[in-house]
Amino acid sequence: MTDGRSYRFTHAISRTPANSITKGLRAAEAGDPDPATFLAEHKAYVEALRETGAEVTVLDPLEAFPDSVFVEDAALCVGGKAIALRPGAPSRFGETAAIRPALEAVIGDVIDLDGDGFVDGGDILVTEHEALVGLSARTDAAGCAALEPILASLGYTLRQVNTPPEILHFKTECGLLDAETIFATKALAATGCFAGYRVIEAPVGEEAVANLIRFNDTVFISSGHPRTRDLLTAKGYKVVDLSTGEAAKVDGGLSCMSLRFSIPQ
């Protein structure tokens, strides 16, 4: 029996995008995001999370850190605790310290990683009882080794998997639909990393939609993927589209823009 703790949340933390987002990291050039449009998309995103019944804390923008809107990479909130991560991109090294006060205010004490390894939250897919952590350009084996005992103390095992080199983050191409089901691109599913789970593959040509999020009773997907919407709706999921066009220009998506968690009552 599972309790849905991997997708039922009471709270979220998000951060308003800074104007410096135009300097954000990206693997390929797709033009600079427009700050005003990004802000509008972000406000719609936050409002959608609130409509699920969650309390959403929105932090002020950090101009010194262009990618700081992607709060998921700086911390992992799981098991009623916050874990301070160590993002792998040098330009993001200060983001964890910047978000710590909010984590302490909303969740409480923050657990730090030991050692010098790196872990980006975008490489961690948390299910009911384990965390799948993909090794990538931003997450290394030393970071996984430091994270493993922390997760164990919170009742989770860590499954280390290899993210194909052409994929920035593990969750760029996968997302959790429910306790037993993962949505993923065919390429990522073919690696065998989801053994033990039911996998629904993204329709060909709609691979960019794989970074979806399940938040309470709603599955949020990036707009512009009608076949995915129809596929998931037919399988019984409540699907809501959100525009992420500006985030995509700097390799961001739905999961990146919030830390989602429950505070024990």
Q: What is the per-residue pLDDT across 12-26, written as a single tens digit (0 to 9) for each?
A: 999 999 999 999 999
Q: What is the pLDDT of residue 3?
A: 78
Number of domains, the chain? 1
Share of the chain above pLDDT 70, in %: 99
Catalytic annotation present for 144 = no
Q: Is residue 3 part of a domain?
A: no
Secondary structure (DSSP) of 106-129: HT--EEEPPSS--B-GGGEEE-SS
pLDDT surpassing 70 at residue 2:
no
Q: What is the pLDDT of residue 1?
A: 35
Q: Based on the number of CB atoms within 10 Å of its own CB, is 101 exposed (0-12), middle (13-18) or buried (19 or more)?
A: exposed
Q: Is residue 5 part of a domain?
A: no
Overall average pLDDT of the 28-40 stretch: 93
Catalytic residue among 169, 174, 193, 225: 169
With H, G, I as helix, E, B as strand and everything else as coil, classify residue 226.
helix
Q: What is the pLDDT of residue 30?
A: 82
Q: Is residue 6 part of a domain?
A: no
Catalytic annotation present for 169 = yes
Q: Is residue 58 part of a domain?
A: yes
Residue with more model confidence, 164 or 47 = 47
Q: What is the per-residue pLDDT across 186-231, written as a single tens digit (0 to 9) for each?
A: 999 999 999 999 999 999 999 999 999 999 999 999 999 999 999 9
* CA–CA gap between residue 95 and residue 218 (Å, rounded): 29
Q: Is residue 206 part of a domain?
A: yes
Name residue, tokens 């909010």: 102
Q: Based on the number of CB atoms within 10 Å of its own CB, is 28 exposed (0-12), middle (13-18) or buried (19 or more)?
A: exposed
117: domain CATH number?
3.75.10.10
**Mean pLDDT of all residues in the chain?**
96
Name residue, tokens 């993001």: 92
Overall average pLDDT of the 153-174 stretch: 94
* CA–CA gap between residue 78 and residue 9 (Å, rounded): 10
Q: Are 245 and 252 in contact (CB under 8 A)?
A: no
Q: What is the pLDDT of residue 28?
A: 80
| pTM for the structure as a whole | 0.96
Q: What is the per-residue pLDDT across 68-77, written as a single tens digit (0 to 9) for each?
A: 999 999 999 9
Q: Is residue 1 part of a domain?
A: no
Q: Which helix (H) or strand (E) holds 131?
A: strand 130-135
Question: Domain range spanning residue 35?
Answer: 11-261
Work out the pLDDT band at 168, boundaries 50, 70, 90.
confident
